[in-house]
Amino acid sequence: MSKEPSSNLESAMQMLIKTFHKYSGKEGDKYTLSRGELKELLLEELGTYLGGSKDNEAVEKVMNDLDANNDGEVDFTEFIILMGALTVACNDFFLDCKTDEKPTDECKGESAQKKN
Ligand SMILES: [Ca+2]
Ligand SMILES: [Ca+2]
């Protein structure tokens, strides 16, 4: 009872840590996410951002992008980079859509392939 977070941001940080450990403890190393654990986390916690798809390619891509040291596991630092990138994408999305009222695809297309 004594360690209640005093702000939304502190709560958000605690949620990030709790969420990571909820999935990282399921198999193998308790402190890292295996491919399977990452997939579960993405589907259950970030389904909205991944379009709710059960697309293995999306998960593979995220995994490959995140696993900076190529050990096949996502540690907390790597996970936080994903959350940071997603938060930035959300913020950009919000700003773009707010100012220009572009269609959804345009807003998402930050790093999408160019057509010519
Ligand atoms: Ca694990
Ligand atoms: Ca790694």
User: Does 87 map to a domain?
Assistant: yes
Residue 44 lies in a domain: yes
> Residue 1: which pLDDT band, with cuts at 50, 70 and 90?
low
**Looking at the 3D structure of the chain, how many domains does it have?**
1
How far is ligand 1, taken at its centre, from the CA of residue 37, in Å?
7
Region 25-34: mean pLDDT is 96
pTM: 0.72
d(C-alpha 55, C-alpha 36), whole Å = 13
| Amino acid 99: pLDDT | 60
Contact indicator for 70, 30 with CB cutoff of 8 Å: no
8 found inside a domain = no
pLDDT in tens, 31-71: 999 999 999 998 899 877 766 556 677 778 888 888 999 99
How many angstroms does the Cα of residue 32 sit away from the middle of ligand 2?
Answer: 8
Residues 6+ apart with CB under 8 A from 101: none
**CATH number for 98:** 1.10.238.10
Give the model's pLDDT for residue 48: 75
Structural domain range at position 90: 25-109
